[in-house]
Structures are given as C-alpha cells and as structure tokens.
Chain A
Amino acid sequence: MILFDFDYERADTLEQAVALLARLQGDARALAGGTDLLPGMRMENIRPGLLVSLSGIEPEAPQVLADGSIRIDALTRLATLENSELVRRVVPMLAQSAHVVGGNQIRQMGTLGGNLCQEVRCLHLDQKHDYQFVAPCYKRGGTCCYPFPRNAPEVCWSVYMSDIAPALIALNAQVEILGETGTRRIDVEALFTGNGLKPLALSQAELLRAVLIPAAAPGFTWGFHKSTVRGGLEFGMAVLAVALQLAEDGRTCTDARIVVGAVREGPVRPVAAERSLIGKTLDEERMEQAAADTSRVVNPLPHHGFSKRHLMDNIRVHLRRTLARALQRARDQEAGR
C-alpha cells in the first residue's frame, strides 16, 4: 500500500496528459501499467503529487506502414506484444523480449512505453527506507552512495534493466515522443543518457507515443537472451540482443548490432565488437572474439549480488551463443524457404 496522498486525473488523449504534466512541473507522473511506478511509490522512491492516468487512452493496434516498418503504440500492453500475430511475424525479437518480462500479471498490466521508461534499479534503492538506508542516497536527492561509497555525487551506478530496450536498439528502432511543442522522433538508443540519476532523455512533460521499427531487409536475423537464475519473475542479470544482416552466402556479415542490457545505467552497444563482425565470415572463432571483446568493453557493474567477473563470463558465453543462434536461425529460415 502507498502511504502518502496524491491526486489523480485520467487523460482522454496523450496531448491532454502532456499538458497536465507540463503544468505540474515535475510533481506529476504519467501512469500507464503502473507495474514499475506504483511499487516505486510504495517504496517512496518517488512521491508525485499527481498521477496522470493514461488508462483511458485506447492504444492503436500495431500496424505495418507503407515502407514496411511497423508502428507500435507505446501504450500497447506487453501481453498484447508477446501474443500479437503481427508482432510475432514481423518483429519476433520484440515479441520475445516482451515474453520474458516479469511474470504474466506484469505483462498483462505493463506497457511498451512504461517498460522503456522504467526506473533504474539498485538493491539499496529498491526498498522502503523506514529503518534501512534511511539517509537518502544521491539518487533520492541525498548525499551518499551505499554500494559505492566513494562515488562522486553526480555518479549513480544503478542498473537499467528493461528487457525490451536492448531488442529495440538492436532493431534500430525509433521512438516518437510527444511533448508540449509537438512530436519528435529519436532513436531508441538516444533515449538513454547513461546517467543513473536521470537515465532517460525525456523532459518532465514528454511521453512516448509510439515505437517505430524499420522493415527487416532480406538477410536479417536476430538473437535474444535474458540471463536469469530462475528462468522467470526476475530482472535479468544480463540481457543480450543481436541483429545481424547477412550477405547472400548466409555467412558473411554485412551489418551487426549488439546490445547488452541490465548491466549498466543504460543499454550498451559494443561498437568495436560490432565492427569486428562486419564484412567478415561469421565463424565460431570470430563470434567468440566479439563476445569476449563485448564482455570487456561493456564493463558490467556488479549488481544484485553478481560480481563483475561473473557478469563478464555470462555475457561472453551467452553472447557467443546468441550470435550462433542468430546465424542458425538464418540457416533454418533459408532451409525452410
């Protein structure tokens, strides 16, 4: 239960919601599925004076545009994403990444936009502070960092743990953002600041309206992996998303996007490792090397009881496998054609 009062308004349109958020200047928060926001309010990590509910706004169904790209309303529920025939056919990696979020009830409530806009996580942050960690940390406007006491005030090594963001970045997706002055469109990748204190590049009165994913060209293949201890109902220790573009020979890589999530303040792209694959034949050795390079350059933050070394091991092995699975998927599709 939440033990402070706030007000509540339901917006009929996203424009209304933005106008409300703008007027409240930081004291209002948009409420979509609430699966991240309301637990945060229960822990009093966030204490908004007003919630602007988006639940009265019916999301548009996912649609394929004339150029073959797919447009998905940010208010689409994760359960809709994972079960939508269209999404599973056109952007299966997105459906897969939605499928592994939380538990079923979370996916029934949570939305695509909400998942992208979730707060960063830290064991010291994610609990009530009645008698543990009472003095607020940097993230909560205070003057200390519990897990990394020597960190400077502008540094918050918390971890952004969305399962979907890495998939969207790998897919080179964009988000349409509605603000007071209209809409803007940026790469999903640009949504993340890499700063744990303010992980999203959104102003207070901006809301995600839609996600746009470009059409897959022939030769496209993908791989996705979420490392967990239990296989469900938890945030990942690492989330890996891979999008590859293969030449007609089915082995030469013409483009590669690798994204590692849940180990830093935002999703990370190991650009050098991606480049090391481009123009090359994807054999075991090359994939192994790219995975090893990635695990190093990503420089994972120790989080949720996992050491940096173990996270590096995990990323190295699972990224290599994810790359191999992407390749295999392309072969299977070729064989099935």
Chain B
Amino acid sequence: MHETGVVMLDVSKGKDVRVGAVAGAQSRTRLISLCVNGEWHEVAVKPRIMLVEVIRDTIGLTGTKASCESGICGACTVLIEGRPVLACITLAVECDGKQIRTVEGLAEGEKLSVVQEAFLDQGAVQCGFCTPGMLMSATALLERNPKPTRQDINKALEGNLCRCTGYNAIVDAVLQASGQENVKPVMK
C-alpha cells in the first residue's frame, strides 16, 4: 500500500531508474526475516524503523530497554551475530537474515547464564534498567575473551551507562562470571 510512485531502484542490471517517490514521499515497506533468540520472525517494516522498535513493539520482547534512543547509553544493546550493538541506531532493514540475541535469550529455560547469576550474586542489579544491555555487553565480552582483565572489562562496558551501582559490583560480577580474582558471591 506504500508502493505509490515508487520504483525499484536497480542499478546492477542497468535498467532505467526512476526516483520520483524519494524526496519526502512514502517509503517502501519491506518484509524482513530475523532470527531472535533462535526464533525466526517475518516482519514488515518501513526503512526508518529501528531494530529496538521491532524487538520491543513488533516481536514483543520488552526486556531490551529504550532509554536515550540516540546511540549513547547502551540500554538497548543486543547481539547481532554475536556483536554487541545499539538497537536504537540500527535500522531493522539492516538486520534482514541476521541472528539476534536479546536478554531473553541468555537463560536456558529456568537456568540462568553464569553472567546473569553473577550479577545477582554481586548485587550488580539495582533499578535494573541498564541491566539487559549490560548483560549483553558482558556476554559478548566473555564469549570473545573468557578471561578479561579489568581494563578489558572497562573497554567492553564503557558504552553502558549505569546510574545506580557505581559500576563496582558490575565489574565484580564479570570477574566472578569469568572465574577470576577469586571473586565470591556477596549475596546469598
């Protein structure tokens, strides 16, 4: 229904290209497929729709949080093909065919991941709004680098703001999850 005036732009085949609909006109809705936490979803989106909107509003996984919505705070961090990225500045159309992991995909059934457990053990969760993004950044770090130094942890989590904890408990949680520095649970 949004096709009025829009012509497929196809340069590779050398066709004559018309672009009458571009400036300020309706944009073409696209059907994309993305695999979120192991489930494939087919979603119709306009190009301007961000991945965070699809995850939260269309698929209904609201664990991923929308906070600054301008690519700064990290609350919306999800993993695309294992890489931590900001879903608030990622166009959904760019994720066609991609594997996406959100906070809902960390636990296996009732069993929390070691990172999730460590966050609880260390009191690294207060209001919890940064937590999903923080967990995704930490998970990506440990998958790539199972024994990170404190400096590695800082670099991996510098794009995730937390106003509650002062970060100390969060660093301890990542150290605990990686089995380093003999960090023991402080909450039972």
B-binding residues in A (CB < 8 A): 1-13, 16, 19-20, 23-24, 27-28, 31, 34-35, 38-39, 42-43, 49-51, 53, 55, 79, 99, 102-106, 108-109, 231-233
Pick from B27, B74, B77: contact of A5, CB under 8 Å = B27
A-B contact sample (14 more), CB < 8 A, given A8-B28, A53-B91, A104-B156: A1-B53, A1-B69, A2-B48, A5-B47, A7-B28, A8-B30, A8-B91, A42-B89, A49-B25, A103-B158, A104-B158, A105-B137, A232-B154, A233-B72
User: Can you list 10 A-B contacts with CB-CB less than 8 angstroms, sorted by A residue number?
Assistant: A4-B48, A9-B9, A13-B12, A19-B11, A23-B11, A42-B70, A49-B23, A51-B47, A105-B86, A109-B90
B83 close to A39 (CB less than 8 A): no
Q: What's the nearest-Cβ distance from chain B to residue A44, in Å?
A: 12
Contacts of A8 in B (CB 8 A): 27-28, 30, 47, 91, 93
> Please, which residue of chain A has its CB at the minimum distance from the CB of B160?
A103
B159 close to A233 (CB less than 8 A): yes
Contacts of B91 in A (CB 8 A): 8, 31, 34, 38, 51, 53
B89 close to A35 (CB less than 8 A): yes
Total A-B pairs in contact (CB under 8 Å)? Answer: 128
Contacts of A103 in B (CB 8 A): 72, 74, 158-160
Contacts of A11 in B (CB 8 A): 11
Query: Contacts A39-B71, A232-B154: A6 and B47 contacting too (C-beta < 8 A)?
Result: yes
Question: Does B94 touch A at the CB level, under 8 Å?
Answer: yes
Contacts of A5 in B (CB 8 A): 24-27, 46-48
Expressed in whole angstroms, the Cα–Cα distance for A99 and B158 within the complex equals 12
Expressed in whole angstroms, the Cα–Cα distance for A153 and B26 within the complex equals 34
A104 close to B11 (CB less than 8 A): no
Expressed in whole angstroms, the Cα–Cα distance for A28 and B19 within the complex equals 11
Q: Is the interface of A mostly helix, strand, loop or mixed?
A: mixed
Contacts of B28 in A (CB 8 A): 7-8
Within 8 A of A (CB), among B16-32: 17, 19, 21-28, 30
Expressed in whole angstroms, the Cα–Cα distance for A108 and B160 within the complex equals 14
Query: Contacts A1-B53, A16-B12: A108 and B84 contacting too (C-beta < 8 A)?
Result: yes
Question: Does B115 touch A at the CB level, under 8 Å?
Answer: no
Expressed in whole angstroms, the Cα–Cα distance for A116 and B83 within the complex equals 22
Contacts of A233 in B (CB 8 A): 72, 158-159, 161
Contacts of B137 in A (CB 8 A): 104-105
Within 8 A of A (CB), among B90-106: 90-91, 93-94
A-binding residues in B (CB < 8 A): 6, 9, 11-12, 17, 19, 21-28, 30, 46-50, 53, 69-72, 74, 77, 83-86, 88-91, 93-94, 137, 154-161
Pick from A24, A43, A105: contact of B22, CB under 8 Å = A24
> Please, which residue of chain A has its CB at the minimum distance from the CB of B94?
A55
Contacts of B25 in A (CB 8 A): 5, 7, 49
Contacts of A38 in B (CB 8 A): 71, 89-91
Expressed in whole angstroms, the Cα–Cα distance for A168 and B47 within the complex equals 34
Q: What's the nearest-Cβ distance from chain B to residue A168, in Å?
A: 22
Contacts of B93 in A (CB 8 A): 8, 10, 53
Contacts of B90 in A (CB 8 A): 34, 38, 109
> Please, which residue of chain A has its CB at the minimum distance from the CB of B45?
A8
B157 close to A7 (CB less than 8 A): no
A7 close to B22 (CB less than 8 A): yes
Contacts of B6 in A (CB 8 A): 7
Q: What's the nearest-Cβ distance from chain A to residue B77, in Å?
A: 6
Contacts of A16 in B (CB 8 A): 11-12
Pick from A12, A108, A232: contact of B158, CB under 8 Å = A232
Which 10 pairs between the two chains have the least Cβ-Cβ distance? Answer: A103-B159, A8-B47, A49-B22, A232-B158, A5-B27, A49-B23, A2-B48, A38-B89, A108-B83, A105-B159
Expressed in whole angstroms, the Cα–Cα distance for A104 and B155 within the complex equals 7
Q: What's the nearest-Cβ distance from chain A to residue B13, in Å?
A: 10
> Please, which residue of chain B has its CB at the minimum distance from the CB of A41?
B48
Query: Contacts A4-B48, A5-B46, A232-B154: A39 and B70 contacting too (C-beta < 8 A)?
Result: yes
> Please, which residue of chain A has its CB at the minimum distance from the CB of B66?
A1
Expressed in whole angstroms, the Cα–Cα distance for A199 and B49 within the complex equals 29
Expressed in whole angstroms, the Cα–Cα distance for A221 and B158 within the complex equals 29
Query: Contacts A27-B22, A35-B71, A42-B69: A106 and B48 contacting too (C-beta < 8 A)?
Result: no
> Please, which residue of chain A has its CB at the minimum distance from the CB of B8?
A9
B77 close to A105 (CB less than 8 A): yes
Expressed in whole angstroms, the Cα–Cα distance for A3 and B46 within the complex equals 11
Interface centre among B70, B77, B89, B90, by most chain A C-beta atoms within 10 angstroms, is B89
Contacts of B159 in A (CB 8 A): 102-106, 232-233
Expressed in whole angstroms, the Cα–Cα distance for A20 and B88 within the complex equals 26
Expressed in whole angstroms, the Cα–Cα distance for A16 and B90 within the complex equals 22
Pick from B12, B19, B94, B158: contact of A24, CB under 8 Å = B19
